[in-house]
Structure 1
Amino acid sequence: DADTVFTYGRAGDVTLTGDWDGNGTDTLAVQRGRTYYVNNSLRGGDADTVLTFGRLGDEVHVGDWNGDGTDTLGVRRPVGQAPATATATGAKEVTSAAKVA
């Protein structure tokens, strides 16, 4: 049996896990199209942060890309397009203009 059971998101959402606030605990986010609903605790209900990021068709990855202890979203795009990252607060930056294979 699970220690905790709750409902978060809708049928068809893509579930992501990460330490969105850098507190050492992984929690959930769900992706619905280009919109991400980030929750900083293991509970149902409303998201702590809602952000729109990326393009339809992007391959989404989660990681601590800069080593600061906080996971962020990253996308992989077809060759010749720049990758980008987004924080759980919605800040965005292009990390490189290099080709991504």
Structure 2
Amino acid sequence: KATNDSRFFIRKLLFPLQYLVQLLAERITSNSRSGTRLVHILGFLFAEGYLMILPFIPLYLVSEPPEHHMAAIFTIMYYMLLGWISFWFQPRGNDRYKTK
């Protein structure tokens, strides 16, 4: 347990998609903290708009007006937004702590 970073545990459980992006970003940038943060910010800018289309697809498939479900859609949107932002602020790693 001393080699694992427990600071990512709650974020890993609450936001699994962003944690996978974290691992991919660390691999791409060779564990560069600023590079990983940049990948998260750019990923947010490009992916957030496209991922917000997903909650509307089931509603259109069953011909349900989306106006009746805006509270749920906004909840999903804010969950995704909080997930991206929570990984923008990375703790500093050292020899003892690893994010993987």
What TM-score results when the alignment is normalised by the length of structure 1? 0.22
Select the structure with the greater relative contact order (CA < 8 A; seq sep ≥ 6): 2
Structure (1/2) with the larger strand percentage: 1
What TM-score results when the alignment is normalised by the length of structure 2? 0.22
